[in-house]
């Protein structure tokens, strides 16, 4: 990047923020992106680098400091008692090695990582009280989400009752499988309507409809991968939480793997970069998390994301862009 003086940086930062805010609004609020994710990510990174050079120009409303988009009017708002955060990004091997180095410097303990597929859907929170599903919400801006309980109740893989009687909040991703996405866009096109840009936007658009019959007709599914409020018995690691969620009847993604070294993490990333077209749902990367929960606590959070996890993003050219490509892979 060219060296800039403070005035030039200020102008560049302002124009990047304006553009990124517009893209984020189109993506999160309208469910209708106008640019590819890789372009958004690249501009966000450019802004991040400028803010690192000129930290005095960072403001709390910068897209680098904010999670998601504002909740839609028309839905009841849900306050997340534990914020639903985003994840830091890694784009190459070096970023992943740097992540491993940072976390190992932050703890004395031996590290184990858990690698998971990064499901390209909509982050959701499911609250259970006395064994009953009582509230489902979107992430929204991380502190305030939308109450989409009646829409989530239409997804068959979400249990309406569970054996655990303590108040627990389970978090994960709602997504639209490729097959449902293709069928939906076919119908949309036949009706002369504009098709959805990708399965992620189709899932988000379906769950943020006021009429639950629409969500019910869209064949959505979920994978659960984490917890928020948890008044049940505490477990020592993320991997044991995943096992516990599965025992309770939640749908977890079966492809997660424990890795002892960053080289093993890189192997997992390489494997799924190849295998990605054979999945019947969209993934946009790999999430790597520190397994031990005490170490997670030691490492803590930034304003926007945990320090104990990172999202490796697949390169842009890997993105499945055409319907024909997707059709070939379902
Ligand atoms: P993110 O997608 O980079 O990562 C965080 C999210 O990953 C979590 O909130 C969770 O929903 C999800 N996730 C999926 N699988 C997971 C797993 N196994 N474990 C943990 N989390 C998992 O962050 P973000 O803040 O949701 O959004 C940024 C994304 O949105 C980027 O991909 C960006 O390109 C895209 N975006 C695109 C545009 C556009 O105009 N095209 C605009 C804004 C954002």
Domain CATH number, residue 19 = 1.10.287.610
Gap from CA of 316 to ligand 1 centroid (Å):
15
* Structure confidence at residue 30 (pLDDT): 86
CA 67/CA 305 separation, integer angstroms: 9
Q: Check residue 325 and give its pLDDT.
A: 43
- The count of C-alpha atoms lying within 13 angstroms of the C-alpha of 178, restricted to the half-sphere facing its C-beta, is 19
Boundary of a domain, candidates 30, 47, 66: 66
Q: Does 297 show up as a binding residue in the annotation? A: no
- 48 in the same domain as 89: no
Q: Which of 46, 66, 86 is the last residue of a domain?
A: 66
Answer yes or no: pTM beyond 0.95: no
Q: Give the residue numbers spanning the domain of 39.
A: 1-66
Measured CA to CA in angstroms, residue 330 lies from 116, 198, 254, 260, 278 at distances of: 21, 15, 19, 33, 7
Give residue-wise pLDDT tens across range 182-219: 999 999 999 999 999 999 999 999 999 999 999 999 99
Task: Report CA(130)–ligand 1 centroid distance (Å).
Answer: 31
Tokens linked to 15 = 């124009």
Of 22, 27, 305, which is best to mutate to test ligand 1, by the most ligand atoms within 8 angstroms of its C-beta? Answer: 27
Same-domain check for residues 35 and 88? no
Question: Over pLDDT 70: what percentage of the chain?
Answer: 95
User: Are 201 and 259 in a shared domain?
Assistant: yes
pLDDT at 1: 56
- Are 50 and 75 part of one and the same domain? no
CATH assignment of the domain containing 85: 3.30.470.30
Q: What are the two backbone dihedrals, phi and then psi, of residue 156, each rounded to the nearest 5 degrees?
A: -65, -25
Whether residues 97 and 33 fall in one domain: no
What's the pLDDT tens digit per position in 17-60? 999 999 999 998 888 899 998 899 999 999 999 999 999 999 98
Distance separating alpha carbons of residues 90 and 224, to the nearest angstrom: 22
Are the C-beta atoms of 81 and 228 separated by less than 8 Å? yes
* Same-domain check for residues 98 and 57: no
> Which of these three, 43, 66, 89, is where a domain ends?
66
* Residues marked as catalytic: 118
C-alpha 58, offset from chain centre: 24
- The answer on 61 and 90 residing in a single domain is no
Residue 204: closest CA among 240, 178, 227, 174? 174
What is the spatial distance between Cα 156 and Cα 33, in angstroms, rounded to a whole number?
28
Is 298 annotated in a binding site? The answer is: no
162 and 191 co-located in one domain: yes
Question: Are 121 and 206 part of one and the same domain?
Answer: yes
């Amino acid at each position: 990047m060219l060296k800039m003086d403070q005035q030039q940086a200020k102008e560049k930062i302002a124009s990047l923020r304006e553009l990124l805010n517009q893209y984020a609004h189109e993506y999160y609020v309208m469910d209708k992106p106008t640019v590819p994710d890789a372009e958004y990510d690249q501009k966000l990174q450019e802004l991040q680098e400028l803010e690192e050079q000129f930290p005095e120009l960072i403001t709390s409303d910068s897209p680098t400091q904010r999670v998601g988009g504002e909740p839609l009017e028309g839905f009841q708002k849900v306050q997340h008692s534990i914020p639903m955060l985003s994840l830091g990004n890694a784009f190459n091997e070096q970023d992943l090695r740097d992540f491993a180095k940072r976390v190992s410097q932050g703890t004395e303990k031996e590290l184990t990582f858990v690698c998971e597929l990064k499901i390209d859907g909509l982050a959701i929170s499911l609250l259970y009280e006395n064994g009953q599903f009582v509230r489902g919400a979107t992430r929204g801006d991380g502190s305030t989400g939308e109450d989409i309980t009646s829409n989530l109740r239409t997804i068959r893989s979400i249990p309406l009752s569970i054996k655990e009687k303590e108040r627990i909040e389970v978090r994960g991703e709602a997504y639209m499988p490729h097959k449902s996405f293709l069928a939906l866009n076919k119908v949309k096109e036949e009706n002369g309507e504009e098709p959805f840009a990708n399965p992620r936007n189709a899932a988000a658009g379906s769950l943020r409809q006021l009429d639950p019959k629409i969500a019910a007709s869209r064949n959505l599914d979920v994978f659960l991968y984490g917890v928020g409020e948890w008044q049940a018995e505490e477990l020592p690691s993320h991997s044991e939480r995943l096992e516990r969620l599965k025992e309770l009847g939640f749908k977890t993604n079966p492809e997660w793997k424990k890795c002892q070294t960053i080289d093993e993490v890189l192997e997992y990333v390489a494997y799924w970069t190849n295998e990605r077209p054979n999945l019947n749902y969209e993934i946009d990367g790999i999430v790597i998390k520190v397994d031990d929960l005490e170490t997670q606590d030691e490492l803590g959070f930034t304003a926007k994301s945990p320090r104990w996890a990172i999202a490796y993003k697949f390169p842009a050219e890997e993105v499945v862009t055409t319907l024909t490509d997707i059709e070939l892979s379902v």
